[in-house]
Each structure stands twice: as C-alpha cells, then as structure tokens.
Amino acid sequence: MIRRILVANRGEIALRIVRACKDLGIESVIAYSEADRDTLAVRHADRSVCIGPAPSSESYLNVRSILSAAILTRCDALHPGVGFLSESASFAKAVEEAGLIFIGPRPETIELLGNKVQARISAERAGLPVTPGSDRLDDLVSAKKWASRLGYPVILKASAGGGGRGMRIIHKETELESNFLLAKKEALLFFGDDSMYMEKFLQNPRHVEVQLLGDGNGNVLHLGERDCSVQRNHQKLVEETPSPILDNTVREAMTGASATLFQNLAYRGAGTVEFLIEGGAYYFMEVNARLQVEHPISEAVSGVDLVVEQIRIASKKGISRKQDQIVLRGYSLECRINGLGAGRIARFDLPSGPHVRTDTFLASGMTLSPYYDSLLAKIIVHAPSRQEGIDRMLRTLDEVVIEGISTNVEEQRMIIGSPSFRSGRFGTDLYETLCGKEMRHG
C-alpha cells in the first residue's frame, strides 16, 4: 500500500499531484527549493522538505537530497512530475534501490526510450513509420555524412533531450559545425548527455501525440490524441484534442500502433507517443515516458484522472477502465500562460466557471523565479465542439488579470483568435507567422 508520496518536482504539476494524493487519501510530501518556499504546492501538501538552494542542480536535480527527503519523511513512493529527473533511468533505479516505489515506467524502459535513437529502433520494430534520420552521431564528420545523405534542411536533436533543448535546424553545410557544437553543449548542460542524432527536417508539419496508460503487464489504454502544433522555438504553447486534421482512419492507425508499441514494451504508467504529420503521412518522433504538461485536455474529454491512474498502477491496482469503456466527449483546448521575465506578481486573477480549469502554483504577492521555466499557469476549456471551445477560450483569456510582470496572454489571444487557428489548417510555423519578428525575438 502507498500511504505517503514524495513529490519531487515544482510548479503547477506539484500541486496537481498533491491534489490527486488528497483525493486518494494519501499523504503528500513536497520536496522544494529555497526559491519555491512560498508556492501553493508547499502550502497545500501535508508536509514539505527543503532540498537545497534555488539552482536546480542543487535541488530538483540533486538525487541525494531528494532521496534523503523521501527516506527521512518515511515515504513509500516518489512521483517525479514532469521535467527535471522524470525521465532519468538512473534516478528511477536509485529510487527503487532505496526501497521506494517509483511512480513511472521501469528504469530499463526509461533508459530505452530516453535515448531517442533507441526509441526510433523500437518504434520501427513495432511497425511505426519513422522520420528519415541517423544513428547516433559520434562527431562532426558523421554529422556531415548523414546531412549529405538525408539532404538539407536537417534537424539536430539531443539523444536524451526534449522540450526544444539541444535542437538546431540546419539549412546548409556551412551552418553545421557551429550548430553541432552548440547543440552538444546545450544537451550536456540540460540532460547530462551530449550525444546527438539527426533527422530530415519537415518544413511545416503538424505535431500530434497519443496519450497512453500501461499497467506494466501488457495491458494498454489510449485516450486519443492531442494536437500540439502551436509552438515557439519547439516549445508548446497551445494544445487541443481532438486534432482538427485527423480523419478516423488515420486516428485509429496512430492510436493502434502506439498501443502496440507500449504493449511490446510492457510499459508501466503514463506516457505519450509523438508524431509529425506532413502531406497526409505520419512519422514517429519520440516517446515521452512520463506525464505531459498538456495532460489536462485528455482528462477533460475522457473523464480519466491521469495522475490517479499513475498512482493506481504504481500500487499494482491496474488501470481502472478498459478501452471499450472510454468515450471521448467533446473538445478541449489548453493555453500555457508564460511570464516574460521574473518578478513579483502584484495581482494574479485567473478565470473560472463552468467547463474552465486553471492549473497554477502561484497567487498574488508571490514571485516568478528566474531559476526555472516561465510557466505561470495553464488554462483549459472543454466544449461540445471546436468552434465553441475556441470562443470559450477567448472569453476566458479576457478574464485573466496579471499585474507586476509581463505575460504572453496577448499572444495567446492573437493565436486563438486568428482565422488560421480557427480554420484548423496550420503547421508548426503558426506562431512565427502570426506574431511577427518582434515577438519572436522579444
């Protein structure tokens, strides 16, 4: 039985996990840095433990401090949240070796899927089409050979990466050397691993992912797909479900193939299979072996609490539903509200009301720290149709009042209110097309 969980993360996802624990009657312990001492997750958890100074290398990435906090507070399990150590196989293994339950995939699964090159191989074995790309790039010479073989433009990616880090688009050979070295340096900084690989760059694809749950014994459930094509510098800004571009034939092929991959892996916990879609064809991109920031929209249309399911699976209770019990109802849309600089928030009023959900970790008088990502809140709406969902989100964004720091709320209004977004016919270049040079580099 899991009676007490250490939440080894911060931000809105930490509070999200605390709330799931309360729903299950499980005690929660927040491991927080000095910079996060006054956040809502720390306020609402049953217990809290400071694990170090503000820099993540001394707190949220400090394995020894995190495990010490879990052991000293007599936790049974650890939830890694998203980002930081959530996809670290060595961390998952250390958690289990410490006698704790890791609420996530097995360490060997994370290791396999965390290496994007190995994940591509696994996907191919499961029958998934993959974007044309390289094996691991050992040096600049091999990078040049693969670029020549694939044809420019190409994209360099960190083998252990995600979230746009360690990623560079190369349009011609003269750009390759400097970008290869920069990408390796960034990958080492963020992931502790500078290995790279390369793919043919698709100029303006759609980015679509499938949400799945696995019980670790080959039983897998999918909750449909999410369209995450609205991005800035490869980082997601807007997510929606269902995708406006998929017909049922392609949808069933993608979700079915994704479920097959997870069955082959005997996958345990929540995860997503991500695809790029171009010209009617879809290509496997990667697996995120963890909860995703955008998981609330899948919860909205399915009625499934993904964090509760993660805890159930870790408790060996299995998945609460079968695939034929899942009915995806309506449409859901999420906007990420980001700060455009750190600082004290003088006023922080977020919308509410029927079919509106806001996930945050801040309140008026609190400070957005310069040490971490810029996410302030997520706003999620649910509606019977896509057009009604867009209208609801526009009304909801009008109710946001944040004073003291600048935010991207106006950009979100511009995106959601644009004819291109409403039509559903756009690719990953929508942000740059709409927001212009000044906002792109602001």
- Catalytically active residues are 290
Distances (CA, A) of 148 to 134, 159, 176, 384, 434: 11, 20, 11, 48, 33
Question: CA 176, CA 26: separation in Å to the nearest integer?
Answer: 51
Which region holds residue 424: left if phi is over 0, alpha if psi is between -120 and 50, else beta?
Answer: left
CB 212 within 8 A of CB 223: yes
CA angle, 187 as apex, 181 and 192 as ends, to 5°?
125
What residues have CB less than 8 Å from 273, skipping those under 6 apart?
A: 123, 128, 209, 210, 212, 258, 261, 262, 284, 287
Residue located via tokens 């994940």? 119
Question: CA 318, CA 168: separation in Å to the nearest integer?
Answer: 40
Q: What are phi and psi of 419, to 5 degrees?
A: -60, -35
Question: CA 215, CA 422: separation in Å to the nearest integer?
Answer: 37
| Most distant CA atoms of the chain, gap in Å | 59
In the DSSP assignment, the letter for residue 57 is G
Q: What are phi and psi of 400, to 5 degrees?
A: -75, 130
